Amino acid sequence: MESRNPEGLHEAQLRVLEQQLRDALLDGDHGAVAALLSPALFMMDGQGGRVLELPWLQDWRHGHLQIHALQAHAVETLLCGRLALLSSDVQLHVHWRGREHVQRLRLLRVWTSASSASGAQLLSMAVLAG
């Protein structure tokens, strides 16, 4: 990946970031996930409200949720300078609360330029349809 682009984010960088995040979640690599998440990370609920703590992420961090597979399809990207919006159909296969679950949703991710080693961090997520 090329070095940070002061003009903004680009699609090749976003593909790498999304793959790194997917790999870290699947591998249970808490440090790698933390490096990719903005300290200001928040999620939008179905009514447009801001949720500061992601319950599933807390369960994952404490070992109560294991992600077995994560696929993203129909990815759409909008680049806005230092922000990038990605929406896609996401399918998660997880083990949570003693059971296997498959979750299908349309997920919006907002990445922002950052001074981190990756050059960007995930700032926000919102479920568009589930």
State yes or no: pLDDT of 23 exceeds 80: yes
Confidence (pLDDT) at 4: 45
What is the reported pLDDT for 7?
A: 62
- What pTM, to 2 d.p., does this model score? 0.83
Residue 81 has pLDDT above 70, yes or no: yes
Sign of CA dihedral 40, 25, 35, 107: negative
8 A C-beta contact, residue 52 and residue 46: no
Percent of the chain residues topping a pLDDT of 90: 52
Query: pLDDT tens digits, residue range 4-14?
Result: 445 678 899 99
Residues 30-59 have pLDDT tens digits of: 999 999 999 888 887 666 667 666 667 788
**3-state DSSP of the chain:** CCCCCCCCCCHHHHHHHHHHHHHHHHHCCHHHHHHHEEEEEEEECCCCCEECCCHHHHHHHCCCEEEEEEEEEEEEEEEECCEEEEEEEEEEEEEECCEEEEEEEEEEEEEEECCCCCCEEEEEEEEEEC
